[in-house]
Amino acid sequence: MAYQPKDYSKLLGMKGFSDILLKNHFTLYQGYVTNTNKILEILAQLAKEGKTATPEFAELKRRLGWEWNGMRLHEYYFENLGGHEPLSPESLLYKKIVDNFGSYEAWEKEFKAMGTMRGIGWVALYQDIFSDQLINFWINEHDAGHPAGGNLLLIMDVFEHAFITDYGLKKADYIEAFFKNINWKAIENRLK
């Protein structure tokens, strides 16, 4: 069964994100869904033909991680957005952040600082499912930098396509807009 792109048009009109930026970002995401489906289809055909030891099969298996994670990370990202309320200090997530980082402000400062680092990628708050520790990670490429055993809670896209249309090179301004639109309920629902 082929994957279908999810509809995130409810985010249009979100403060700090132009509709042009969002529509372009949705189109990029849809490309990841399309390419994930194409690769899975070709891999299935190669397997059916007994060609799993071929360079083509190997390279497509490697490429699948890029396209798949491009699809999934964008889904997490868009589902992160659309919120209007700050994270409640009474919530379990807030308390876990304080336990792991000393304060909510210390966590936010680190997360934002990571977002302003030079380079393309993603900033992610993960929960280690074994120790229950919360850790911020830098993901350089879609398919590299994800912690094994990590439960992805919050993801921020810092590839240029996520901000340059609206903010030019002012990535820090984009990060402020991102934080004003975090859907904390969605993040809390991911917590294990």
pLDDT confidence of residue 145:
87
Pairing of strands 134-139, 150-157: unpaired
Distance CA 78, CA 69 (A): 14
> How far is CA 21 from each of CA 105, 124, 177, 178, rounded to the nearest angstrom?
29, 21, 13, 13
- Does residue 1 carry a pLDDT above 90? no
The neighbouring-strand residues paired with 141 are 144
Per-residue pLDDT, 41: 98
Interatomic CA distance for residues 93 and 87, integer angstroms: 8
The answer to which of 4-18, 68-82, 97-111, 140-154 has the lowest mean pLDDT is 140-154
First to last CA, the chain: 28
Helix (H) or strand (E) holding 153: strand 150-157
| Residue 144 pLDDT greater than 90, yes or no | no
Radius of gyration of the chain (CA): 18
Q: Which residue has the tokens 């921020």?
A: 156
What is the spatial distance between Cα 35 and Cα 64, in angstroms, rounded to a whole number?
9
What's this model's pTM, rounded to 2 decimal places? 0.95
Helix, strand or coil, per DSSP, at residue 65:
helix
Question: pLDDT per residue over 64-87, tens digit each?
Answer: 999 999 999 999 999 999 999 999
Structural domains of the chain ordered from first start = 17-80 (1.10.287), 92-190 (3.55.40.20)
155 forms bridges with which residues in the sheet?
Answer: 124
